[in-house]
Chains A and B, each alone.
Chain A
Amino acid sequence: MKISHYNQLLAISTLLSGMLIFASLWHQYQKVEQVSRVHHESRLLVQTLDHVFTMSQLWLTTQDLLFSGRQTYLAKGIHQQSAQLKQTLNNIEGKLINKAEKQLVHGLITGIEQNDDIVDLFSKISMQETKHWQNTVAVSDKITIRFVRNLEQLSKQVVNESEKQARELTTATANFTKLAWVVVSLYLLFIVFMVSSFSKYIVKPIEKITALAQEPENETGAVEFRQVKATTEIVALSSAIQQFTQHITIEKKKAEQERLNVIKANEKAKTIMDTIPCSVILVNNHGVIVDCNVETEKMLLADRANIIDKEVAEYVPALATLDGDFDCQSALKSMEESLLAPGFDNPHIEFSGRAIEIKKTTHYLITLNDINERKHSQKALSSLNEQLIHAEKLASIGQLSAGIAHEINNPVGYIRSNLDVLDDYFKPLVNYIELSKQPGGQSAASAYYQEEDLAFILEDIKPLISSTLEGAARVSKIIKDLGSYAHIDEKLPEAICVDELIEKSLTLVANELKYKVEITKRLEANANVAGFPQKLLQVFINMLVNASHAIESKGSICISSQLEEQEVQIRFEDDGSGITQENLKNIFDPFFTTKPVGKGTGLGLHIVRSIIEEHNGHIDVSSKIGHGSIFTIYLPVQNTKQAENELPQINHEIDINLNHL
């Protein structure tokens, strides 16, 4: 049954039973009320009779006084009393139902009237009529005795009637009370029955369910919530709770398993954290360290307890803004090199960070790697690289030395030849001057002039001297270019005219090229780049020599430079053998060479790319077998203002990049 049906049943049954109870009580109450009214009337009648008794007492006493004292003026009063008595008795007669009682009242009234006649006689009686007097009194006594007897009888009957009515009233009241008790008891029993039904089918099942829910969980976790003796809703509710608890039990097991997994994962993570060979720090969004691993303690030279709750910027200043707040943007960088706070012997670190959500709050997981050893290695590597570059340069000088020597020998040859000719010219000239100096030697001098053809000599000396000077200049230039090439660059970058530097490189490789290569120049850049001239010169020489080597017998090399926006493009184009696509991938790798053993180090192009990247530039290559190769170098143009501002930065970057090598 549904609870609503219970409610309806209770309401209807309560209403009906209430109506029944009140109807029966009202019916019984009406009975009691009726009996009570009758009883009240009878009591009033009794009281009236009591009054009649009193009146009769006075009436009789007055008569006795009249009879005893013969005071006839009392007769009038007696008549008045008689009238009052009769009136009262008439009223009583009107209220009586019983015929016998009515007759009694009627007799009383008759007695009063008869007595009144006697009293009338007394008012006329004479002093001598003693006998008559006594007889009359005797008659009156008889009448009044009968009157009293009748009055007593009437009173007795009325009192009996009243007592009967009182008993009936008592009985009716008792019955009413009994009925009230019975119906109220029945009503209470009914209420108790209904309440117990409610309790049995509604409250108890709910209490049972509640008690089961509050019981401590047993090992199996199986609790039977389902109720059978209950209302439809509670049965459905208990079934739903049963299903729900089963679901909860399953979910709880899952959650427990997940908790165990989390514990294992935490243990695993802790093991990883403590095993991972780098410092790991967890900071909140205010930059306060929340957790760290063992490596952090080693790196920061402090216990975990002393590290926790400190700001990470205290250890890594790079993670703070200029205002000293936590710089969360910096914390998200990857492989960012930085320094620990002053005071650490090994300050070089590399940090990476990621943002993670922990309990709906952004945290940052930052790893710190100790890169001091790497820094030392980089420094050593940088030095080694410099040596390598220098060695490569020396190697190229060695390669170029024969050609350079040839280039020097040519001017030196014709300088010597010119000097030999000039030496030949020197003796006749000296003789001519001495003849001219002698007195009267003019003629001899003129003759000597004509004889030795000094005019020709004098005419030939000037071109000889010019040719000699020009040869000396050529040698000087070659030596100077070679010297500048061999020279190690200054540490600070400088402005370099790209076109001039290309010309220098051509000078140095001229002999290497001139017998099989036709050089075409289109140097139109007319711009400066910031950098190290010797290194860039090494690049260009390397490019020209490689191009020359790519040409087996005869070919051409086109060198061009042009300005494209803020970039200088330098192009080395040859029509040599070209490079296979497979080798194109590796030509910039160190120690990669297609040349025979002993002919190349395999470091040339690798160093070329390193130097260009050192100058913030880059290099492209395209090649086709049998058609030649094109190497294009891109270098940023030096901006005067920018150069002034960035010069130190460039130096720094160069240092760093060199360190990478």
Chain B
Amino acid sequence: MNILSFLLILILGLLANDVNAVAYCSLRDPVAQIAQLYPQKTNQLSIVKTVDDNIRAQVQVSLPRNDLHFSELGKHTLYVAMQGKNSLGYVHVRSEQSKWGLVEIVWAIDKDFRITNFAFQRCRSPKKKAAEEQQFRDVFIGKNYQELRELLSTDGVTANKAVQEQAKSAPELANVVLRCALKTLLLTEILWGEELKKY
């Protein structure tokens, strides 16, 4: 009964409208967090795009078992770290469901849509420290969508053995991070790809 109550409450929560959807992928302290990822940045831009059913369908085709939740639909903000008039890269915040609640990761993406860095805005996992170690981070940093896609195992949800081996200190967190990275890069490219060509 307890589990059913939780599920019911969760479903009710997920069915909430998208009035505040913008907040789902927003940075709590954008200036500080972007500066942490791009120390040389001078200012930043924010580009808001809407994730609609079309986008959702594209994501479903590309990542079949990593469908976007209904709550992830709506307006989302991509930050562009600027050094003067030059962009240094992009900052994209995404939430990924985990056993520790929602894990919010702030992704730093270069102009070639490669992961350059990432930081946990919220991660309740005790393995968070392990995930912040370089060996763990090297699994994802420097890789674009295709390269990360190859890290998925055949189930399309978890990381393959090589990643598991490399991130053996926090394998479950690695799965969450990988799924979050793939969605982030895919949505960035789909939603903001054309827009970012300007920067």
With contacts A70-B23, A144-B101 taken as known, whether A62 is within 8 angstroms of B2 at the C-beta atoms is no
Interface residue A61 (Cβ < 8 Å from any Cβ of B):
yes
Verify A145–B124 contact, CB threshold 8 A.
yes
Nearest CB in chain B to that of A81: its residue? B6
Chain A residues near B24 (CB-CB < 8 A): 68-69
- In the bound complex, CA of A454 to CA of B21 (Å): 232
* Chain A residues numbered 59-94 whose CB sits less than 8 Å from any CB in chain B: 59-66, 68-71, 74, 77-78, 80-81, 84, 88
Q: Which residue of the partner chain, among B5, B13, B28, B123, contacts A65 with CB atoms under 8 Å?
A: B13
How many residues in B have their beta carbons less than 8 Å from beta carbons of A? Answer: 32
Q: Which residue of the partner chain, among B71, B100, B128, contacts A69 with CB atoms under 8 Å?
A: B71
Distance from B71 Cβ to chain A, minimum over Cβ atoms (Å): 7
Chain A residues near B95 (CB-CB < 8 A): 64, 68
Q: Which residue of the partner chain, among A62, A70, A148, A153, contacts B9 with CB atoms under 8 Å?
A: A62
Distance from A657 Cβ to chain B, minimum over Cβ atoms (Å): 145
Interface residue B20 (Cβ < 8 Å from any Cβ of A):
yes
Interface residue B40 (Cβ < 8 Å from any Cβ of A):
no
**Of the 9-residue stretches A14-22, A48-56, A249-257, A598-606, which lies at the interface with chain B?**
A48-56
Verify B2–A63 contact, CB threshold 8 A.
no
How many residues in A have their beta carbons less than 8 Å from beta carbons of B? Answer: 37
- In the bound complex, CA of A148 to CA of B128 (Å): 11
- In the bound complex, CA of A71 to CA of B9 (Å): 12
Distance from A652 Cβ to chain B, minimum over Cβ atoms (Å): 141
Verify A63–B9 contact, CB threshold 8 A.
no
With contacts A69-B20, A69-B21, A70-B23 taken as known, whether A60 is within 8 angstroms of B6 at the C-beta atoms is no
Distance from A109 Cβ to chain B, minimum over Cβ atoms (Å): 16
- In the bound complex, CA of A68 to CA of B100 (Å): 15
Verify B71–A148 contact, CB threshold 8 A.
no
Interface residue A134 (Cβ < 8 Å from any Cβ of B):
yes
Interface residue A404 (Cβ < 8 Å from any Cβ of B):
no
Interface residue A152 (Cβ < 8 Å from any Cβ of B):
yes
Verify B23–A81 contact, CB threshold 8 A.
no
Interface residue A141 (Cβ < 8 Å from any Cβ of B):
yes
Verify A77–B13 contact, CB threshold 8 A.
yes
Chain B residues near A298 (CB-CB < 8 A): none
Nearest CB in chain A to that of B25: its residue? A68
Distance from B79 Cβ to chain A, minimum over Cβ atoms (Å): 17
Verify A81–B99 contact, CB threshold 8 A.
no
Chain A residues near B98 (CB-CB < 8 A): 57
Interface residue B14 (Cβ < 8 Å from any Cβ of A):
yes
Distance from B132 Cβ to chain A, minimum over Cβ atoms (Å): 13
Q: Which residue of the partner chain, among A68, A141, A147, contacts B23 with CB atoms under 8 Å?
A: A68
Verify A84–B9 contact, CB threshold 8 A.
no
Distance from B126 Cβ to chain A, minimum over Cβ atoms (Å): 5
- In the bound complex, CA of A443 to CA of B135 (Å): 237
Distance from B106 Cβ to chain A, minimum over Cβ atoms (Å): 14
Verify A70–B20 contact, CB threshold 8 A.
yes
- Most chain B CB within a 10 A radius of its CB, from A69, A81, A88: A69
Interface residue A174 (Cβ < 8 Å from any Cβ of B):
no
Q: What are 20 of the A-B contact pairs (CB < 8 Å)? A: A53-B99, A55-B6, A58-B9, A60-B124, A61-B10, A62-B6, A62-B13, A65-B10, A65-B102, A66-B13, A71-B13, A80-B9, A81-B5, A81-B9, A88-B2, A141-B124, A144-B100, A145-B128, A148-B126, A152-B126
